Structure 1
Amino acid sequence: MKTVYHPAASRGHANHGWLNTHHTFSFASYYDPQRMQFGALRVLNDDEVVAGRGFGSHPHDNMEIISLPLEGDLEHRDSMGNTTVIREGDIQVMSAGTGVVHSEKNKNLDRAVKFLQIWVFPKERGVEPRYDQIHLDAGAERGRWQVVAAPEPRDGAVWLHQDAYFSITRAERGQALDYPLHQSGHGVYLFVLEGSAEVDGHSLGRRDGLGITETETFRLVAGAEGARVLAMEVPMTVG
């Protein structure tokens, strides 16, 4: 098993006043040639948007864009005619495909919204744009890996135009969870949402990341305060 460790403090950071953001991989003005992507995982942005502000209309194409709210409410509008609000406990995917224009705004006027925006390269270019959003079963992630995004439609998950699997767990103090990879040759990028954990001798804290390759399985052990962890399993080759 090979690993690459990205401490939270090593991420790119920009504070635009209305947006406070951290970039795990190169994005916008943050550039590190050693951190361009992890296989098909291209972007992992940890965003906080102040009350009433947001991203104006802007275009995307040929990318799977996943939004995972952590606090607050995020309003989404797009050129496919969707106007929705995604909240803590939801997950959203937008397959940009041949091209889509969208905007994202903090729905609330009295508090910030915090969310992860994640980009994954698609398996096939030029697909028809598509939107999907579901509310997750918080109880299903306790003590197990709950799949929340997958390559095919399934209950409790959004689906992606890529052989990728996103899973979330909420583990109690000292609990050990094995993660068997879904496909040989894949890698898994772990991102600690809350708490702490240990994997392969690495002690991981809040917002730390760990890329794992060349294995069929690994074990995560939750730290003293427990852990909530997002696992993003993706192909390691693109194109």
Structure 2
Amino acid sequence: MMKTRIDVSPEMIAFIGDGMVPCEDWPDTSVGFSYLFSPAICAFHTDTDACDDLTAADIVFVVKREACTRTFGMLPDAPATWHMPNEMRSIALAVRDCRLAGLAAATLRVAKSIELLCVTFEQLGDGSMIPADGTGVLTASEARRIAAARDLIDKRWNEKLTLETISRACGINRAQLTRGFRSMFAMSVADAIADRRLGGARQMLLATDLPVSAIGYKCGYLNNASFTRAFSRRFGQAPTQLRNTRLAA
């Protein structure tokens, strides 16, 4: 059994319904977007040669890579999966469950497929897409709170952050935060904080003349030794070596 094929344009094909995705006459250097209703997720695929990965989806778009960058000015950097927002789900349902017949159905599906792709890129561009965890265990609401926790870390990394303060600020309990964060981002909350702080420290070492010890303290390290050890593990050189490299340049 094969999905229904809709030729949207010379640069885009839509596949709808159950069954396999026929891998024939695709645009060169294609990427894929898939939409699944249960659970409500959408995904970006860089390897559209792996047709089996697209079989479970309700809707699949195969789009020429250059057409995406030309039209929308961007593409995701790597394969990714997100919770499908309600607006996108409504459009996707209109594509799948079209009640018209014949040419009218094909025309509507072409229009709605273009709209769905445009809204997908709009959501990606404004950062409102919530990443789905790899197991599908997290609900959209839980994923949204955990994404908010990551955003809090990225913005307030130089403050004193704990599991308790982050979970309270994001409306999720510590156990859910711990499990969900690792599931979504493949790292612990503590690792994310440390990574962001060390990145901030590196920027300060390159852009300011603050003493190394002062930078370490600003980034949450209580003594220079612990800061130096953590920085060396992360970047392969001590803070003073990086500072000296900048001065030598």
TM-score normalised per structure 2: 0.24
Please tell me whether Structure 1 or Structure 2 has the larger radius of gyration of its CA atoms. Answer: 2
Q: TM-score, normalised by structure 1?
A: 0.25
Higher relative contact order (CA 8 A, sep 6+): 1
Structure 1 or 2: more helix by fraction: 2
Higher strand share: 1
